[in-house]
Amino acid sequence: MEQHSTILAFRTSGAGLYPITHDVAQWTAEAAFASGLLTLFCRHTSASLTIQENASPEVLDDIGAWLDRLAPEGAGYAHADEGPDDMPAHLKAVLTGVSLAIPLVGGRLALGQWQGIFLAEHRRAPHRREVALHLVGA
């Protein structure tokens, strides 16, 4: 068994789901493993990771709208140190999670045909986000 790790950085332009599958798959391919397990970890508390449909933009829009209903701004949160979207962003990260595990089969990520990896930015302002990748395999 071998291990490889890196940190990928992504720039966001505000709230939304940003596709990162290509960047993750490209780094994974460079390891040239036939099989293994890739772990992704978002290094933030107001952003997260998810695997979701990669074909219909309406799915991503609906997920964003749903998260806004579950964790709305102006709901009387005690924590608002960085503005009214701060606490809702933390709650959205709790709901969606900050880590993923994806098998590597035949040298490729074992994602389904309609699955993509997305970085979920939960803040309105642009940010630089980091995702740590760790690959174990052979």
**Angstrom distance (rounded) from CA 54 to CA 71:** 24
Sequence-ordered list of residues with C-beta below 8 angstroms from that of 79, at least 6 positions apart, any chain = 86, 87, 90
pLDDT at 2: 97
User: What CATH number was assigned to the domain covering residues 2-137?
Assistant: 2.60.120.460
| Phi-psi group of 129: left, alpha or beta (phi > 0 → left; psi -120 to 50 → alpha; rest → beta) | beta
Residue located via tokens 């997920």: 63
pLDDT tens per residue, range 19-58: 999 999 999 999 999 999 999 999 999 999 999 999 999 9
**Cβ-Cβ contacts under 8 Å for 23 (sequence gap 6 or more):** 8, 10
Note the pTM of the prediction, 2 decimals: 0.96
pLDDT value, residue 115: 98
For tokens 């608002």, name the residue: 80
